[in-house]
């Protein structure tokens, strides 16, 4: 890909991802002092006679406090989207109609778990995950600790609204955007 059209992650001044723009746009914003580079390529540079700046991967806007407009509602779609349509227990990706929502701590066990060992709410980002029908059935009313299953931490968190930027995972890895997409806070 041409250097100038590579994607750059744009963060608002509160470090929330708000957009993805080309290197060309990002460099313009930096030159106009509207943004600063906070992550860049180690070996690729934009050069002209007068300047040489590293190809940015992430820039931080100085004056903008924009936040993405869509708010995050807790529902089946937002959970599936957060979990990348994968069963968090076995990692399989069946067709979405075969995916279910699983309560990590099942309703029948909720009251026996002490408050410091469970999320605040039964129906919450922390207690809901995507599971395939098979895993959901196998799990039944057991706790994952009882069957030695694990849920990756990243699946239990409320996603940032940045998931609505529709970024593909290869860009996230390639340009080092992980901390703004996969982790919760």
Determine if 86 is a binding residue for Zn ion (CB under 5 A). Answer: no
Residues 65 and 7: their CA atoms lie apart, in Å, by 21
Nearest 10 degrees: Cα torsion 148, 155, 158, 102:
-60
Closest distance of CB 112 from Zn ion, Å: 25
Closest CA to 38 of 69, 64, 17, 67: 17
Determine if 59 is a binding residue for Zn ion (CB under 5 A). Answer: no
Determine if 177 is a binding residue for Zn ion (CB under 5 A). Answer: no
Closest distance of CB 75 from Zn ion, Å: 21
Q: Which residue has the tokens 């999320």?
A: 119
Contact region for Zn ion (CB under 5 A) — 40-48, 89-97, 109-117, 137-145?
89-97
Closest distance of CB 94 from Zn ion, Å: 8
φ/ψ region of 5 (left if φ > 0, alpha if ψ in -120 to 50, else beta) reads: alpha
Determine if 105 is a binding residue for Zn ion (CB under 5 A). Answer: no
Which of 6/127 has CB closer to Zn ion? Answer: 127
Determine if 175 is a binding residue for Zn ion (CB under 5 A). Answer: no
Residue 99: DSSP 8-state = E
Determine if 129 is a binding residue for Zn ion (CB under 5 A). Answer: no
Residue 73: DSSP 8-state = -
Closest distance of CB 164 from Zn ion, Å: 26
Q: Which residue has the tokens 């039944």?
A: 140
> In this structure, are residues 59 and 26 in contact, taking their beta carbons and an 8 Å threshold?
yes
Determine if 135 is a binding residue for Zn ion (CB under 5 A). Answer: yes
Site residues (vs Zn ion, CB under 5 A): 87, 89-90, 132, 135
């Amino acid at each position: 890909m041409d250097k100038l059209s590579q994607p750059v992650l744009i963060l608002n001044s509160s470090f929330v991802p708000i957009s993805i723009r080309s290197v060309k746009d990002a460099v313009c914003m930096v030159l106009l002092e509207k943004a600063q580079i906070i992550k860049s390529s180690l070996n690729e540079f934009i050069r002209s006679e007068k300047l040489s700046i590293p190809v940015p991967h992430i820039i931080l806007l100085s004056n903008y406090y924009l936040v993405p407009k869509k708010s995050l509602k807790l529902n089946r779609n937002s959970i599936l989207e957060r979990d990348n349509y994968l069963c968090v227990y076995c990692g399989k990706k069946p067709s979405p109609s075969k995916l279910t929502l699983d309560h990590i701590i099942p309703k029948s066990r909720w009251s026996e778990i002490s408050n410091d060992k469970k999320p605040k709410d039964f129906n919450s980002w922390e207690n809901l995950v995507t599971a395939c029908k098979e895993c959901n059935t196998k799990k039944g009313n057991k706790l994952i600790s009882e069957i030695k299953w694990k849920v990756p931490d990243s699946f239990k968190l409320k996603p940032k609204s940045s998931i609505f930027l529709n970024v593909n995972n290869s860009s996230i890895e390639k340009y080092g955007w992980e901390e703004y997409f996969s982790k919760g806070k």
